[in-house]
Amino acid sequence: MNQIKLFIQQKNIVINNLSLNFNDIKDIKEKTKLINFKNIQEGIYLFQENIYYLEEEGKIFIDIYKKEIDILFNDYFYLTKNILESKIIQNFLNLYPPLKSYCVLKSAPVLEFKGPELAWNSLLFIYDSKQASIRLNISF
């Protein structure tokens, strides 16, 4: 299983031993040429194997032009009140307790984190009712 580590206080993601530094777009472009990445559209790369993050399996997409990362979690989730009910959100808040104070429920399906402790421009959890799944979107 491919473990992913997301570093909130720096623009860096590690998939197994592959470090992706999002302060250096040239580095990202070079590393997405590796065998584990598939170019699915110009500037958009899919890590071809499932990743494991927040105790859930998912897929990770990197959009170099939009400067975004999307993690699509495989587990089905049916929203009854709001996205805060999700085990994924609870695991995230337990992993990064200081971020609880930067958490804003934008609407029932959208949770945003913004604040000085966050190196990323935006970090959003978005519930997709059509797929009954949660997506983590990070822009840098």
Please report the pLDDT score of residue 52 as a whole number.
87
Q: Which residues pair with 56 in a beta bridge?
A: 53
Determine the residue type at 57.
E
Please report the pLDDT score of residue 14 as a whole number.
84
Please report the pLDDT score of residue 83 as a whole number.
93
99: nearest Cα among 125, 73, 80, 81: 125
65: nearest Cα among 103, 95, 39: 39
What pairing do the DSSP bridges indicate for beta strands 2-7 and 12-15?
antiparallel
Please report the pLDDT score of residue 8 as a whole number.
59
112 burial (CB, 10 Å; 0-12 / 13-18 / 19+) is middle
| Boundaries of every domain in the chain | 2-65, 73-139
Structure tokens at 57: 């399996």
What span, in angstroms and rounded, lies between the C-alpha atoms of 20 and 78? 32
Residue 10 backbone dihedrals phi, psi, to 5 degrees: -150, 155
pTM: 0.88
Please give the chain's pLDDT, 140 residues, in tens.
667 676 655 788 888 778 888 888 788 888 877 778 899 999 899 998 888 888 899 999 999 889 899 999 998 888 888 999 899 999 999 988 888 889 999 999 999 998 877 788 889 999 998 889 999 999 98
